[in-house]
Amino acid sequence: MGNFLERLEHDLNAPIQVRGFGSGWFAGFFALLFAVSGFAMVVELRYPAWFAMPELQVIKDWPGFRTAVHLVLLASYALALLSLLLRPRKVLGATALAIGLAAALLGGSNVQPSETASWGMFFGLDFFVVNLLVTGFMFAPIERFWPHRPGQRLFRIEWREDLFYFLVSTMMVQLFAFLALAPQAYVNSQTSNWDQFRLWVANLPWIVQFVLAVILSDLFQYWYHRAFHRVPFLWGFHAVHHSAKAMDWLAGARMHFVEIVLLRAVTSLPLFTLGFAPSVLQAYIGFVYVYSSLLHANLAGDFDGLGHWIATPRFHHWHHGLEKEAVDVNFAIHLPLIDKLFGTFHLPPGRWPQNYGVPEAVPHGYWAQAKYPFVRKASG
Ligand SMILES: [Zn+2]
Ligand SMILES: [Zn+2]
């Protein structure tokens, strides 16, 4: 124990040369800070009698307190993982992760404000961890056994960048699930004459609602996606997603955060306002995350018959192709039929695109790409 504390102290006091930006030191430091604060906050919620100071009661009565606890713990998780990835010395990240886990075991921010309760698993730390584990441990082996490009390594070029995107987008689901409640409540209150219709939708069999959710959100997604290809300013955001030169399950996560927020808003709007059961929404969001990893995965298999009905990896790989025939095709992410309807379907039998990416020079690195749409010079 003494030895461990020594190592922790040693790394906290690491010389400036080994704690520069990108070394994982800042991530580890803030992970630890958030983990300790989050832990203290959870203890306070769990054992209120220990902290019976009237000054603290004001904070505990604040309705956003549990949300704050939750966000603090989430941030500590993400930063701890980042630090573990970047930093050769694992003591900072591992300690933060352990404290964060202890806080989660104590119940985390457990009891949610009533309006977020229906979001269940998506507003829990569970989703963050589950998404990473399920997606990673599912696709990494499958890609190894059935690769489209066998030479491609798991830890290919830019994988750290894409993993960071993955962490961010998982956090975004949570944030979005929370932010979307307000507009949903507003729209529903303005359209009370639809209540009868919403009731009808909510009473449809669960699986029918799910299938309808897939169809409706892909229809909205199709036009949203097409607009991001057509409008030059929007393309600046979407070019980031298309800048991946190698395709695998992780590459799909590369998406500008503005695009994620708008995409989720646009595709969930019909689901929010037409009365779909919350469990259908939850299932769809989980489904879309796993499915989009599948679409980008480095997976062999032409599935020619299937690819005309359901989006397959080869169908979406054509969307990412660099060659001329791949420009502005296959916008749908579930149903190729939508592309057929609007004349953008492209799936030449048995062929894959030769190269992936965009003809313009999108910079490397998360932050440079975050700025890219605002500094990009429109090319023709
Ligand atoms: Zn696209
Ligand atoms: Zn894609």
Minimum-distance ligand to the CA of 248? Answer: 2
Domain boundary among 56, 81, 111: 111
Q: How many domains does the chain have?
A: 2
Q: Find residue 299's DSSP bridge partners.
A: 147
Dump strand ranges (E) for the chain.
none
Residue 219, burial from CB neighbour count under 10 angstroms (0-12, 13-18, 19+): middle
Residue 317 Cα to ligand 1 middle (Å): 10
Instruction: Look at residues 325, 356, 367, 360 and name the one whose alpha carbon lies nearest to residue 246.
Output: 356
Distance, CA of 244 to CA of 207 (rounded, Å): 35
Query: Rounded to whole angstroms, how far apart are CA atoms 263 and 237?
Result: 12
Q: Is residue 116 part of a domain?
A: no
Tell the burial category of 305 from Cβ atoms under 10 Å away from its Cβ (0-12, 13-18, 19+): exposed
Concatenate the DSSP letters of all residues of 135-190 into one string.
Answer: HHHHHHHHHHHSBSSTT--TT-TTHHHHHHHHHHHHHHHHHHHHHTHHHHHHHHHH
Tell me what percent of the residues of the chain surpass a pLDDT of 70.
81
- Give the residue among 226, 217, 205 at the shortest CA–CA distance from 285: 217
- Mean pLDDT of all residues in 340-352: 94
Mean pLDDT for the stretch of residues 81-94? 82
Query: Do 89 and 181 fall within a single domain?
Result: no
Whether 4 shows a pLDDT value over 80: the answer reads no
Question: If DSSP codes are grouped into helix, strand and coil, which group holds residue 50?
Answer: helix
Confidence of residue 210 (pLDDT cuts 50, 70, 90): very high
CA of 304 to the centre of ligand 2 (A): 19
pLDDT at 125 over 70: no
**Could you tell me which residues come within 8 angstroms of residue 79 by beta carbon, excluding any fewer than 6 positions away?**
27, 28, 30, 31, 34, 96
Evaluate if residue 330 carries a pLDDT over 60. Answer: yes
Considering the domain architecture, whether residues 151 and 227 belong to the same structural domain is answered as yes
Q: Is residue 117 part of a domain?
A: no
Do 174 and 65 lie in a common domain?
Answer: no
Domain boundary at 90, 111, 132, which?
111
Average pLDDT of span 85-105: 82
State in Å: Cα 243 to ligand 2 middle.
10
Domain extent, residue 69, equals 2-111
Residue 55 is predicted with a pLDDT of 57
Q: What is the pTM of this model?
A: 0.68
Please give the average per-residue pLDDT across 222-226, as a whole number.
95
What the block records as the tokens of 250 is 């992780």
The percentage of the chain sitting over the pLDDT mark of 90, rounded to a whole number, equals 29
Alpha carbons 281 and 36: distance in angstroms, whole number: 34
Distance 365 CA to ligand 1 centre (A): 20
- 220 Cα: distance to centroid of ligand 1 (angstroms): 14
319 occurs within a structural domain: yes
Count, residues in the chain: 380
Confidence at residue 379, expressed as pLDDT on a 0 to 100 scale: 54
Q: Within this chain, do residues 276 and 359 fall inside the same structural domain, yes or no?
A: yes
Does 274 share its domain with 150? Answer: yes
Q: Are residues 146 and 283 in the same domain?
A: yes
Per the rule left: phi > 0, alpha: psi between -120 and 50, beta: everything else, 283 is alpha
147-190 confidence digits (pLDDT tens): 888 877 766 777 778 877 887 777 666 666 556 556 667 777 78
Q: In terms of domains, do 40 and 145 share one?
A: no
Mean pLDDT of all residues belonging to the chain: 81
Per DSSP, the three-state class of 22 is coil
- The answer on 144 and 199 residing in a single domain is yes
Distance in angstroms (rounded) separating the CA atoms of residues 99 and 209: 41
